[in-house]
Amino acid sequence: MKTCTAFFHCGEQLIKTLAIELDEIKRIVEIIPWSPTFKYHDKGNSFEHQGAYNKAFYEEFIRLGWECQPLLRIEPKLIGDFRKGLVFVEIQFGNSSALYRDYYKFQYGLANGLLSIAILISPTQPNKFFPTRPKSVQNMAEFDLAYTCFTVLPINVPVVLIGLLPEN
């Protein structure tokens, strides 16, 4: 699918050093198509909508050797979605409050030498990205909100923000 991307606190040397991992993430996102009724089939199981995207991302990251659910801290428990080396990935399809937990994970991980760069992936237009999601689900995490937070909050972690567009 198509994306938009923003970089925060990322110098050229960091991007160059982590180019392989960043290219893998880009390929993973590009290979997964957007559909208003996205479905994913795996080993006789069918997944739809958000669950389908979660499963598709999981399978692609695992296929490329990424660690799934990396543990940053036991208590309080801080778990990410994927990690390879010092590249830490969060895919956020939940409520916007989950973004703040992700920011905390990024800060903690950087401060404790557990990551060099964080990748946050979220939809750009949640209602168009998930058109069949119940209207009762409001205040979803989205690219624009994450972008605003990174520009106004004192989050000094190198972050690549990837917005998923509802198009191919």
pLDDT at residue 49, as a whole number: 86
- The pLDDT mean for the chain works out to 93
Q: Has domain 3-164 been given CATH number 3.40.309.10? A: no
> Given pLDDT bands bounded at 50, 70 and 90, which one contains residue 135?
low
Please indicate whether residue 161 or residue 95 has the higher confidence score (pLDDT). 161
Contacts of 96 (CB under 8 A, 6+ apart): 139, 140, 141, 142, 145
Question: Has residue 136 got a pLDDT over 60?
Answer: no
In this predicted structure, the answer to whether residue 127 has a pLDDT above a threshold of 90 is no
pLDDT at 70: 97
pLDDT confidence of residue 153? 86
Residue 3 and residue 21: Cα distance in Å, rounded? 17
pTM: 0.94
DSSP one-letter string for the chain: --EEEEEES--HHHHHHTHHHHHHHHHHHHHSPP-TT-EEEETTEEEEHHHHHHHHHHHHHHHTTPEES-EEETTTTEE-SEEETTEEEEE--SBTHHHHHHHHHHHHHHHTTS-SEEEEEEESSHHHHSTTS-TT--SB--HHHHHHHHHHS---S-EEEEEEPS--
What is the per-residue pLDDT across 29-45, written as a single tens digit (0 to 9) for each? 999 999 989 999 988 88
Q: Where are the domains of the chain?
A: 3-164
3-state DSSP of 110-155: HHCCCCCEEEEEEECCHHHHCCCCCCCCCCECCHHHHHHHHHHCCC
pLDDT at 121 over 70: yes
